[in-house]
């Protein structure tokens, strides 16, 4: 029997994912099914009477039942974890982008690192980001009555102020670019 291929981890092997800082998280639905929301509006002038007024039919997000449940738990989990905060998020049709801030905890030391040891196998690390995403998925799936998420999620470590500003802008402009998004799927 052919040996199974090992999946390449996109995570930094020597990075402490419990360290204080910001992380850009993307969570996708299984098979990128567009079940969380709908983007309505075209981003073009909405009718001939508005020509010259600058009024656009700006794309808006309409959450489905699945999206409403995800939204509810994102807000609840933001209050549940005292060492984490969701600084911004958007629920797109088949994925969620979150800007997660790890603020530390009662165990934070002065050098900005948590006292949680860096695991030898970072892929299995029970990092703050992994805990948040796992809990969010579990709570949502329990209320959905089914699992709708891909098993993994993507993260990006925010490296500096410019990187932070670019990702905040990306979150808020994502509905405007939906039809050009790499995760776009027809409904």
Mean pLDDT of 172-178: 86
> Total domain count for the chain?
1
Q: How far apart are CA 15 and CA 8, in angstroms?
A: 16
Examine residue 162 and state whether it is found in any structural domain, yes or no.
yes
Q: Decide if 157 contacts 12 (C-beta within 8 A).
A: yes
Domain that holds residue 142: 21-47+54-179
Examine residue 164 and state whether it is found in any structural domain, yes or no.
yes
Examine residue 115 and state whether it is found in any structural domain, yes or no.
yes
Q: How many CB atoms lie within 10 A of CB 50?
A: 12
CATH number, residue 43: 3.30.70.1290
Per-residue pLDDT tens for 82-126? 888 999 999 999 999 999 998 865 343 334 444 333 333 333 335
Examine residue 11 and state whether it is found in any structural domain, yes or no.
no
Examine residue 8 and state whether it is found in any structural domain, yes or no.
no
b or e along 165-183 (b: 16 or more beta carbons within 10 Å of the residue's beta carbon)?
A: eebbeebeebbeebeebeb
Our CA angle for 10, 131, 90, nearest 5°, is 75
Is residue 74 predicted with pLDDT exceeding 70? yes
Q: How confident is the model at residue 48 (pLDDT cuts 50, 70, 90)?
A: very low
Residue 175 Cα distances to 39, 40, 64, 89, 92, angstroms:
7, 9, 15, 12, 7
Q: Decide if 146 contacts 69 (C-beta within 8 A).
A: no
Examine residue 149 and state whether it is found in any structural domain, yes or no.
yes
Q: Decide if 158 contacts 21 (C-beta within 8 A).
A: yes
Examine residue 2 and state whether it is found in any structural domain, yes or no.
no
Examine residue 5 and state whether it is found in any structural domain, yes or no.
no
Q: How confident is the model at residue 73 (pLDDT cuts 50, 70, 90)?
A: very high
pTM: 0.73
pLDDT at 100: 93
Higher pLDDT, 23 or 178: 23
């Amino acid at each position: 029997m052919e040996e199974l291929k090992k999946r390449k981890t996109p995570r930094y092997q020597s990075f402490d994912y419990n360290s204080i800082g910001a992380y850009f998280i993307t969570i996708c639905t299984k098979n990128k099914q567009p079940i969380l929301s709908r983007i309505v509006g075209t981003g073009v002038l909405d009718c001939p009477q508005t020509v010259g007024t600058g009024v656009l039919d700006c794309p808006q997000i309409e959450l489905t039942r699945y999206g409403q449940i995800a939204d509810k738990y994102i807000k609840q989990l933001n209050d549940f974890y005292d060492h984490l905060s969701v600084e911004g998020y958007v629920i797109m049709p088949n994925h969620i982008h979150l800007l997660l801030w790890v603020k530390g905890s009662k165990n934070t030391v002065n050098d900005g690192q948590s006292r949680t040891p860096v695991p030898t196998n970072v892929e299995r690390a029970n990092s703050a980001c992994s805990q948040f995403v796992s809990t969010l998925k579990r709570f949502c799936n329990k209320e959905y009555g089914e699992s709708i998420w891909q098993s993994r999620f993507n993260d990006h470590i925010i490296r500096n102020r410019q990187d932070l500003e670019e990702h905040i802008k990306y979150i808020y402009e994502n509905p405007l670019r939906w039809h050009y998004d790499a995760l776009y799927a027809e409904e």
